[in-house]
Amino acid sequence: MWSGLFFGLGSDGTISANKMSLKIIGERTSLYTQGYFEYDSKKSGSMTVSHLRICDKPIRSTYRIVEADFIAVHDEKFFHTRDVLSAAKEGAILLVNTVREKEKFFSALPPSVQDTIFKIKLKVFLINAYAVAASMGLGRRINTIMQVCFFKLTPFLTIDEALEALKSHIEQTWGRRGREIVMRNVAGLELALAALEQLDYSQISREQTSGKLATTGENDFVSKVTIPLLRGMGDSLPVSTFPPDGSWPTGTAKLEKRQLATQIPVWQSELCVQCNFCVMICPHAAIRSKIVAPSEIKDPPENFSSLPVQFSEELASYHFVLAVAPEDCTGCGLCIEVCPARDRKMPKRKALVPQDFHTTLGPAKAEWEYFLSLPSVPVREIPPDRRTLVLREPLFEFPGACAGCGETPYIRLLTQLFGDHLVIANATGCSSIYGANLPTTPYTKNNEGQGPAWANSLFEDNAEFGFGISLALAQKEREAFEKLRLLKDKIPPSLWHKVHEKGVGDLWAWQRRKAIQELALYLRDIGEESDFLNSLLPKSVWIIGGDGWAYDIGYGGLDHVLASRQKINILVLDTEVYSNTGGQASKATPLGAAAKFASSGKRTRKKDLGLLAMSYGHVYVAQIALQANSKHAVECFLEAASYPGPSLLLAHCPCIAHGYDLRLSPQQQKRAIASGMWPLYRYNPLLVEKGETPLILDSGKPTLDVAQYMENESRFTMVQLRDPEEYEKLIEMARLAVKQRYAYYEQLSHIHLPKES
């Protein structure tokens, strides 16, 4: 029996390719095949393991492979995080995808890996699959490239037979996405064979130590639990290792150091205009800026830069600094794409330029660590806007989301607005997976130990779950104020007013917390109980979930919450598809888009959740698009948080399921707005009492044809390839839907409603 282990990177196509390989071998030979695949719910960017068995007899093995004839490592960083060679037989084949030159590959391996390769005489083959994929316009999808190398190095088919089979399967798999995608993948097969080369390491000197992978951690729990789990050794941990109360430390996503990027942005400070667009759009909080006192910048690393603050007269005596977390950056390129600053002599050169990860890693790490050590000037007193808000410390960092994710910037922004007093009820979905899937969580805390409180509910009842949290906290606050009222005669008036002052935002929360701490000390000094004051600490409750929850399965509960007049905030991360479960159509899927259960194009209009919420008359509603208009998004967050009743924010979230390069999502989001497919608006019932119309159309009348928006996403063009005539009909239906919706909204925006008596 032949056995093979394949270590892939989630979303690189490794598992799909291995399933196809087993199918090809099973259909074209008399051999039996078996496949078992390991991957966690952080599907994109995490390690996947494929166990393949091939034999001339029926296979009845019901266990993981422990002795492998073939090992493929589809990302070389796994040598530094996992023991990927533990199952290798003597003389086994080792296929590695590496960006390093052949002469430098071996010396970059950990000493223990070098020792293993020498000891069991592995046959090592190298290929830079990322370079091949990039040259063919395939991005990071290296599946067909590594697949043809597998067939070249194994005896099951001749290479001609394998190429014929692979071309046939490529046609079947990608034909519906267009001829160009098929031709790119087919061309990649020949390039891969030419790029594959064997490494002769017999004459290479190596370190004579048998070092182990680093086991550093912040505390005992991290060292004993988190790090082993990150290395795939969770099955070996005894139950006694885990905390009996189920509590886990926060802020652990920073330990993963996923190193997904092949290129990372490097700051060209002399071109920077300090707009902070790059920091605002980053899905992983991997690029950050600070305002620091010049006197604090002591002994910086070589090439570390700072600039006098240009955007505020009050801060003109301070310096602006920016840095990138190189090992946490996913290389999505969004920050470079939105950077407006260009070199006049070389217009293609921006204030952020992409540079090779491996050559930049050392200096970038030093700059990042120095950046973190610099004390920021107090920024909570600076009025929050698009530019200044991201100067605050994010309490959501390095989530395990896809590169270029459109959801995570909204959550990061939420923590920068309300993070130290934020309470989140999170529906199951992408946001719960990258948000708190063990063993790490991106939610973290500030230096004072304050940060978001997060809980995950079932998919269908998250609105009720968050509603219950809000009601409970409100009741505890009322009881605490009632106890405090009985002590009013003993409390100084100034302190009484501080505690009762209402507000919203980071500054108010900080002032309220200080006032409560002062009051607690005063009550203890006069011999009164003070524990009940904890219920008066500021809290901003948010219900968060995706469109599958809000528009479909959880809509009944959502509607129940909106119908109440309870002060609560709802953030819908709308990708217009069931992103976490494989791309099924939801009621948020736009007319004309292809998705599972709507492969010929959805023929019904997108559910207008905002309009349904407006019908109650007492719900604040806003439709936002952070990547295209961050100023509008920030304003809506602040208005929603300060509104005294329920608020609903509908956030447009670009997703890999839309079928285009997410690096271009800011432009595509602008097309969605300009075409009327995603109009920006606000419905604020408080305006009625001022005699104004409650509905404000922020994006104005559509100026772009719907077809010009749809032609950039394969979820629409797939329909065109399948049935061009039907596609034209769907476009006409979409045009009509946009016109009718805008006409309806425009009329509503001119209606003046009577005030409440």
- In tens, the pLDDT along 374-416 reads 999 988 888 888 899 999 999 999 999 999 999 999 999 999 9
Shared domain for 655 and 679, answered yes or no, is yes
CA distances from 414 to 422, 451, 452, 617 (A): 8, 12, 10, 25
Q: Is the pLDDT of residue 502 over 70?
A: yes
Please indicate, yes or no, if residue 357 is contained in any of the structural domains: yes
- The one-letter amino acid code at 612 reads L
Shared domain for 38 and 110, answered yes or no, is yes
Q: Average pLDDT of 94-98?
A: 97
Q: Average pLDDT of 96-114?
A: 93
pLDDT tens-digit profile of 140-198?
A: 789 999 999 999 999 999 999 999 999 998 888 877 777 888 888 888 899 999 999 99
User: What local confidence, expressed as pLDDT, does residue 217 receive?
Assistant: 44
Please indicate, yes or no, if residue 480 is contained in any of the structural domains: no
| pLDDT confidence bin for 282, thresholds 50/70/90 | very high
Report the CATH number that the domain containing residue 313 is assigned in CATH: 3.30.70.20
Shared domain for 223 and 184, answered yes or no, is no
Q: Mark which of 392, 415, 442 sits at the end of a domain.
A: 392
* Residue 226, token pair as written in the block: 């988190």
C-alpha span between 440 and 434 (Å, rounded): 9
Please indicate, yes or no, if residue 724 is contained in any of the structural domains: yes
Contact indicator for 156, 54 with CB cutoff of 8 Å: yes
- Residues near 117 by Cβ (< 8 Å), separated by ≥ 6? 85, 94, 106, 109, 124, 201
User: What local confidence, expressed as pLDDT, does residue 210 receive?
Assistant: 37
The DSSP bridge pattern shows strands 540-546 and 568-574 to be parallel
Q: Is the pLDDT of residue 207 over 80?
A: no
Residue 222 is part of which domain span?
214-235+245-255
Shared domain for 136 and 222, answered yes or no, is no
| Angle, CA of 436, 439 and 441, to the nearest 5° | 35
| pLDDT confidence bin for 209, thresholds 50/70/90 | very low
Shared domain for 230 and 274, answered yes or no, is no
C-alpha span between 643 and 265 (Å, rounded): 39
Q: Is the pLDDT of residue 43 over 70?
A: no
CA distances from 180 to 170, 171, 175, 574, 600 (A): 12, 11, 9, 30, 20
Query: In a 10 Å sphere around its CB, with 0-12 CB exposed, 13-18 middle and 19+ buried, how is residue 307 labelled?
Result: middle
Shared domain for 336 and 386, answered yes or no, is yes
Please indicate, yes or no, if residue 170 is contained in any of the structural domains: yes
Q: Is the pLDDT of residue 715 over 70?
A: yes
Please indicate, yes or no, if residue 440 is contained in any of the structural domains: no
Shared domain for 203 and 231, answered yes or no, is no
User: What local confidence, expressed as pLDDT, does residue 213 receive?
Assistant: 40
Nearest 5°: phi and psi at 471? -65, -40
Sheet holding 695-697, edge to edge: 453-456, 422-426, 540-546, 568-574, 646-652, 620-624, 681-683, 695-697
Average pLDDT, the chain: 93
pLDDT tens-digit profile of 618-639?
A: 999 999 999 999 999 999 999 9
Shared domain for 125 and 140, answered yes or no, is yes
C-alpha span between 437 and 229 (Å, rounded): 12
Q: Average pLDDT of 552-564?
A: 96
| pLDDT confidence bin for 83, thresholds 50/70/90 | very high
| pLDDT confidence bin for 137, thresholds 50/70/90 | confident
Q: Average pLDDT of 92-106?
A: 94
CA distances from 548 to 391, 409, 433 (A): 33, 19, 15
Q: Average pLDDT of 310-332?
A: 95
Residue with tokens 């106890």: 483
Nearest 5°: phi and psi at 546? -95, -175
C-alpha span between 364 and 305 (Å, rounded): 12
Shared domain for 634 and 706, answered yes or no, is yes
* Residue 699, token pair as written in the block: 């994006």
| pLDDT confidence bin for 581, thresholds 50/70/90 | confident
Q: Is the pLDDT of residue 432 over 50?
A: yes
C-alpha span between 18 and 36 (Å, rounded): 10
Per-residue exposure over 126-162, b if at least 16 CB sit within 10 Å of its own CB, e if not:
bbbbbbbbeebebebbbbbbbbbbbbbbbebbeeeeb
- DSSP for 313-363, written as a single string: STTTTSEEEEEE-TTT-----HHHHH---B-SSSTT-BSEEEEEHHHHHHH
- The one-letter amino acid code at 65 reads I
Q: Is the pLDDT of residue 211 over 60?
A: no
Shared domain for 7 and 54, answered yes or no, is yes
pLDDT tens-digit profile of 336-362?
A: 999 999 999 999 999 999 999 989 999
User: What local confidence, expressed as pLDDT, does residue 480 receive?
Assistant: 96
Longest dimension (CA), the chain: 92
User: What local confidence, expressed as pLDDT, does residue 757 receive?
Assistant: 64
Please indicate, yes or no, if residue 420 is contained in any of the structural domains: no
Nearest to 88 by CA among 69, 104, 111, 109: 69
User: What local confidence, expressed as pLDDT, does residue 212 receive?
Assistant: 40
pLDDT tens-digit profile of 221-265?
A: 888 899 888 888 888 899 998 888 877 889 999 999 989 998 999
C-alpha span between 328 and 287 (Å, rounded): 9
Residue 479's Cβ-side half-sphere holds a number of Cα atoms within 13 Å equal to 10
Contact indicator for 573, 544 with CB cutoff of 8 Å: yes
Percent of the chain with pLDDT over 70: 98
Q: Is the pLDDT of residue 318 over 70?
A: yes
Q: Is the pLDDT of residue 604 over 50?
A: yes
C-alpha span between 450 and 429 (Å, rounded): 26
C-alpha span between 576 and 602 (Å, rounded): 12
pTM of the entire predicted model: 0.92
Q: Is the pLDDT of residue 452 over 60?
A: yes
Q: Mark which of 392, 413, 443 sits at the end of a domain.
A: 392
User: What local confidence, expressed as pLDDT, does residue 215 receive?
Assistant: 44
Please indicate, yes or no, if residue 9 is contained in any of the structural domains: yes
Domain count, the chain: 4
Shared domain for 157 and 301, answered yes or no, is no
pLDDT tens-digit profile of 645-668?
A: 999 999 999 999 999 999 999 999
Q: Is the pLDDT of residue 720 over 60?
A: yes
- DSSP for 110-159, written as a single string: -HHHHHHHHHTT-EEEEE-HHHHHHHTT-TT--HHHHHHHHHHHSSSS-H
Shared domain for 200 and 330, answered yes or no, is no
Q: Is the pLDDT of residue 504 over 90?
A: no
Radius of gyration of the chain (CA): 28
C-alpha span between 5 and 38 (Å, rounded): 11
Nearest 5°: phi and psi at 716? -95, -45
Please indicate, yes or no, if residue 425 is contained in any of the structural domains: no
